[in-house]
Amino acid sequence: MVERADYVTLEGVSKIYNPGPAQVEAVSQLGFSVRSGEFVSILGPSGCGKSTLLMMVAGLETATTGAIHIAGERVERPRLQTGIIFQDPTLLPWKSVLDNVMFPVHIQGLDEAQHRARAMSLLQMVGLTDFAEKRPHQLSGGMKQRVAICRALVTDPDLLLMDEPFSALDAITRDELNVALLDIWQRHHKTGLFVTHSIREAVFLSDRVIVMGRRPSRIVADVRIDFSRPRDVHVQESPEFTRLCTQLRDAIESQHG
Ligand SMILES: Nc1ncnc2c1ncn2[C@@H]1O[C@H](COP(=O)(O)OP(=O)(O)OP(=O)(O)O)[C@@H](O)[C@H]1O
Ligand SMILES: [Mg+2]
């Protein structure tokens, strides 16, 4: 990956849904950049426009004003090199785990053998080698989300967008998946935008955490997280971790009421 400080850029980005008397300004004049290889989390109150922001970066929603660029190219439609993970894994029930992971490869007409090997190595990384031929209904919620992670990575995207991917899971499974994601991150070194409501999750995973204010959203905090990588779960017990969480919580609470 070419190192650049402005790998993803948003300039004056606004989103107005239903223009007219009933319009909703979901995002207002948002601007920030993400460095290549950086993992950035976005926190903010419910309804402040986090998902809207991610959908615009994905090219699945158009910005009403402003411009989004990825690797110097303006985003005007979905791009093949962007992987997305949603809250709901949305697996195809009639396909095996392996075929679900391979789905983007088939859609994009990419080399079957090369990507099958990659799919198997990703499944191994998340501990699902023995489940490759199972159907989604035979998997737990956490396992399904692991499959969704593999599916998002199988085509080797340079940018990974994640919208509360672990929020429907229990706390222990969530911790496990955070560690799995960190591990994959270390090995594959993508650029990432991660939306979450969990302050601890954001601090644990990220190089930087952005806090969005109430709708129409603007940035109320942009905090660097300097813990070295690879990160150990025990970093969460350090005073610095607690200090960062408190700082972010205060920024979020300043937006309520
Ligand atoms: N397709 C749409 N049409 C009209 N309004 C929408 C649409 N999608 C979102 N909105 C509105 O835009 C605002 C921001 O929504 P968005 O889903 O981006 O928030 P969010 O920060 O992701 O919230 P949450 O944390 O609850 O997921 C909300 O007021 C929402 O009602
Ligand atoms: Mg959302």
Same structural domain, 163 and 216: yes
Same structural domain, 73 and 164: yes
Which residues, 6+ apart, have CB-to-CB distance to 189 below 8 Å? 1, 37
Same structural domain, 136 and 167: no
- Compute the distance between CA of residue 59 and CA of residue 152 in angstroms, rounded to an integer: 16
Q: Residue of the nearest CA to atom 4 in ligand 1?
A: 17
Count of domains forming the chain:
2
Same structural domain, 187 and 248: yes
Predicted TM-score (pTM) above 0.85: yes
Sheet strands side by side (includes 65-70): 24-34, 8-17, 65-70, 73-74
Print pLDDT tens along the chain (257 aa).
Answer: 567 889 999 999 999 999 889 999 999 999 999 999 999 999 998 989 999 999 999 999 999 999 999 999 999 999 999 999 998 999 999 999 999 999 999 999 999 999 999 999 999 988 999 999 999 999 999 999 999 999 999 999 999 999 999 988 888 888 888 988 888 888 888 899 999 999 999 999 999 999 998 877 789 999 999 999 889 889 999 999 999 999 999 999 887 76
DSSP-derived letter for residue 18 is S
- Compute the distance between CA of residue 217 and CA of residue 46 in angstroms, rounded to an integer: 11
Query: Among residues 124, 157, 190, which one ends one of the domains?
Result: 157
Q: Which atom of ligand 1 is nearest to the CA of 212?
A: 21
Same structural domain, 142 and 15: no
Query: Among 52, 212, 219, which is best to mutate for testing ligand 1, by the most ligand atoms less than 8 A from CB?
Result: 52
DSSP state letters, 122-134: HHHHTT-GGGTTS
Ligand 1 binding pocket (C-beta < 6 A) is 17-18, 24, 26, 44, 46-52, 215
